[in-house]
Chain A
Amino acid sequence: MSNNFKRIDGRTPDQLRPYKIRAGILKNADGSAEIKLGKNWIVVGVYGPKEHFPKFEALQDRAILFCRYHMAPYSTTERKSPKPSRREIELSKVIRSALEEAVILERFPEMSIDIYIEVLQAEGSTRVASITAASVALAEAGIPMKDMVVGCSAGKVNGKIVLDIGETEDKEGEADLPIAIMPNLKKVVLLQMDGKLTHEEFKEAFEMALKGALELYEEQKRALKDLIEKMKELEGESNE
C-alpha cells in the first residue's frame, strides 16, 4: 500500500486521529474517564459495585453489569432526540457484552456496576472509543478485570482499507469494521461489520484495527499512570 495516499482529513491509511484519554475526570463517580479521538468527545462514569436494586433481580453468584451508551442531542450535525434510539440500545448491549468478558463479576455477588457512556460530540467510531474510555473508568474505579478492553475501527473507503473510520468516511465508505480486544489475553470481545468486504479485505482491515487498538492500549495505560502520579503528588503535598 502506498503511504502517499491521503485521506479526507489528510491522514495516511494506517493513521489514527489525534487522541487523548484522561482518567478520573468526574468528582462524584467511583471511576471515570474521557476520550478525545478526532472530534469525538466521550465521557464515561462508573458507579459501583453497589447493592443491586430491586433485590429480587440481584444474582447470588455475581454482579450485574449495566451499561448505557447515549448520544447527547447536540452531539451530531442534526439534533438527535435524547430518547434512546434502537441503535443506542444495540450499542449499549454490545459494549456491555464486551466489558463483561473482562470484568470479574463473580467478585461482587448481589451487586451491580453501572457504566454510563455519554457521547458529547460524535465523529465516527464512537462505540469503540466508548469501550476504550469505559475500560479506563472501570480500572479507575478499582474494579478487578482480567485485562483492559480497547477498541478501534477499520474499514474500506474509496477502495482502500483504512484505520479509525471518521464520520464522513463512515457515510461515504464501503465498509466499517469496529473491534474491541483484550490485548494481553489476545481475545476479540466486540466484532461488528457492515458494508462489503472480501475475505482478504476483512483480514487486512481486522489486522489494521488490531494494530490501532494496541496503540490506544498504550494511551490507556498512560492515562492511568498519569492519574497515579497526580495522586502521589497530592499525597506528597498533604504530608508536608
Chain B
Amino acid sequence: MSEKYKNKTLAEIINIEQAKNLLNKNLRKGDRGLLDYRDIKIETGTIKKAFGSATVNLGDTVVVAGVNFELGTPFIDTPNNAILLVEGEILPTASVEAEAGPPDEHEIEISRVIDRGIRESGMINFEKYVIIPGETVIKIFVDFNIINDDGNIIDAANLAAVAALATAEIPKVEYIREHIDEVNNINIKEIPRESFKVEEIPIANTIGIFDGKVLVDPDAAEEEVVDTLITFTHLSTGEICSVQLLKGGLTYEEVFKTLDVAYQKNLELREILKNNGISL
C-alpha cells in the first residue's frame, strides 16, 4: 500500500480514493458542483455561559466558538488598545487523526489565519475598549473548537468566530470606569452589558486546486487529494485583509483566478450571515 495512506483508516482511504475519482470527472460527493459550498447552518447564543457564542455546521464539519471578556493590562507598545486573543483547537472528538494535547502547527496556523482576518479587518475598534490607557483594557478572547472535522475548518471557524463576536454582549466600559476602585472585587459576569458593536465582517474562503481545476469548500477527503489550498479573507468593501497559502503551490495566473472565486464566494457567505441576522 502506498505510503501516503500511512496512519489512515480503511474508511478514510476509500473516501480519499472516491474523492479523487469524482474530481477527475468534475464531480463531488452529494452531487455538489466544484464551486458549491456544502449546507451551512449558523446558530448563535449556543453557549449561554459565554458573552457570545455560535455553532456552525458546514456539511459535516462542526465548530463551536465562544467569546469572553476579561480585564487586563495592555501590551507596552499598544497602551491605547484592547487585547485580542484568538485560539482554536481541533478536539480529539473531531476525527481519528485528531489528538488531545497542546496545539500543533496545523491548529496554530488556522488560529493565526482567523486572528489576522479579525484583527486586520478593523472588525473591532480596539481603542473603544480601553478603561485606563496603559493600565486597564478589556481582553477579548475568541476561542473556537472543531467538534467534527470534515474539512475546510478555516471557513467554518471564521464564520463561527465572526458570528459569536457580532452577537456578543460586552461589559459596559462606562460602568467599569465609574466603578474602577471596586471592580477587582466584582465578577465581570455581573457587570451590566451592552451589545458588542462590530465595525466590519471578515469572510474567509478556502479554495482548492485539483489538477488545474478550481474548487471551493473542500471536505476532508478532498483536502488530501488537492494539490493546492489557499485562503482569502475579504471585507465588506471588497478589499482583501488576509491571504494564506496552506498547501502546495500555484501559478501566477492561478493566484488571481482563486482570488476571484474567493471574492464571489465571500458575497455568498456574507448573504448567509445576513440571513442569520449578522450584518453591519
CB of B194 within 8 A of chain A?
Answer: no
CB of A116 within 8 A of chain B?
Answer: no
CB of A191 within 8 A of chain B?
Answer: yes
Tell me whether A188 and B252 are in contact (CB under 8 A). yes
Complex CA gap A195/B240 in Å reads: 8
Residues facing B in A45-88 (CB within 8 A) are 59-62, 78, 86-87
Contact of A93 among B6, B109, B252 (CB under 8 A): B109
Contact of B245 among A59, A189, A210 (CB under 8 A): A189
Tell me whether B3 and A186 are in contact (CB under 8 A). no
Which A residues touch B239, using CB under 8 A?
196-198
| Shortest CB distance A11–B (Å) | 24
Which B residues touch A97, using CB under 8 A?
245-248
- Determine, out of B18-26, B51-59, B255-263, the stretch whose residues face the partner at the interface: B255-263
Tell me whether B250 and A187 are in contact (CB under 8 A). yes
Task: Please give me the residue from chain A that is nearest to B116 by CB atom.
Answer: A194
CB of B249 within 8 A of chain A?
Answer: yes
User: Contacts A94-B245, A188-B255, A196-B235: A202 and B3 contacting too (C-beta < 8 A)?
Assistant: no
CB of B241 within 8 A of chain A?
Answer: yes
| Shortest CB distance A153–B (Å) | 13
Complex CA gap A94/B244 in Å reads: 9
CB of A6 within 8 A of chain B?
Answer: no
User: Contacts A89-B108, A198-B239: A192 and B244 contacting too (C-beta < 8 A)?
Assistant: yes
CB of A141 within 8 A of chain B?
Answer: no
Interface size class of A (residues with CB under 8 A): 35 or more
Which B residues touch A197, using CB under 8 A?
239-240
CB of B242 within 8 A of chain A?
Answer: yes
Which B residues touch A190, using CB under 8 A?
245
Complex CA gap A90/B113 in Å reads: 10
Interface of A is mostly: mixed
Which A residues touch B6, using CB under 8 A?
59
Complex CA gap A50/B13 in Å reads: 30
Which B residues touch A27, using CB under 8 A?
none
CB of A108 within 8 A of chain B?
Answer: no
CB of B192 within 8 A of chain A?
Answer: no
Task: Please give me the residue from chain B that is nearest to A189 by CB atom.
Answer: B249
Task: Please give me the residue from chain B that is nearest to A86 by CB atom.
Answer: B108
Complex CA gap A108/B238 in Å reads: 46
Total contacting residues, chain B, CB less than 8 A: 39
Q: Write out, one digit per residue, whether chain A residues 174-213 have a CB within 8 A of any chain B CB (1) or not (0).
A: 0001000010001111111111111100110010001000
Tell me whether B252 and A192 are in contact (CB under 8 A). no
CB of A132 within 8 A of chain B?
Answer: no
Task: Please give me the residue from chain B that is nearest to A171 by CB atom.
Answer: B77
| Shortest CB distance A55–B (Å) | 13
Complex CA gap A197/B235 in Å reads: 10
CB of B112 within 8 A of chain A?
Answer: yes
Task: Please give me the residue from chain A that is nearest to B110 by CB atom.
Answer: A90
Task: Please give me the residue from chain A that is nearest to B4 by CB atom.
Answer: A61
CB of B187 within 8 A of chain A?
Answer: no
Which A residues touch B248, using CB under 8 A?
97, 101, 189
Tell me whether B245 and A191 are in contact (CB under 8 A). yes
CB of B120 within 8 A of chain A?
Answer: yes
Contact of A191 among B76, B116, B243 (CB under 8 A): B243
Tell me whether A194 and B251 are in contact (CB under 8 A). no
Tell me whether B242 and A194 are in contact (CB under 8 A). yes
CB of B230 within 8 A of chain A?
Answer: yes
Complex CA gap A195/B243 in Å reads: 10
Task: Name the residue among A59, A90, A92, A186 with the largest chain B CB count within 10 angstroms.
Answer: A90
CB of B184 within 8 A of chain A?
Answer: no
Tell me whether A188 and B250 are in contact (CB under 8 A). yes
Which A residues touch B263, using CB under 8 A?
199
Tell me whether B245 and A186 are in contact (CB under 8 A). no
Which A residues touch B247, using CB under 8 A?
97
CB of B185 within 8 A of chain A?
Answer: no
Which A residues touch B255, using CB under 8 A?
188, 191, 206
Tell me whether A193 and B243 are in contact (CB under 8 A). yes
Residues of B within 8 A of A (CB): 2-4, 6, 76, 103, 105-106, 108-109, 111-112, 116, 119-122, 230, 235, 238-252, 254-256, 259, 263
Query: Would you give 25 A-B contacts (Cβ < 8 Å), ordered by A?
Result: A61-B3, A78-B76, A86-B103, A86-B112, A89-B105, A90-B105, A90-B108, A90-B109, A94-B244, A97-B248, A188-B255, A189-B249, A191-B243, A192-B245, A193-B243, A193-B244, A194-B116, A195-B120, A195-B241, A196-B122, A197-B239, A197-B240, A198-B238, A206-B255, A210-B252
Identify 17 new A-B residue pairs, CB closer than 8 A, beyond the known A94-B244, A191-B245. Answer: A59-B3, A61-B2, A78-B76, A89-B105, A90-B105, A182-B249, A188-B249, A188-B252, A189-B245, A191-B255, A193-B242, A194-B241, A194-B242, A196-B239, A199-B259, A203-B256, A206-B255
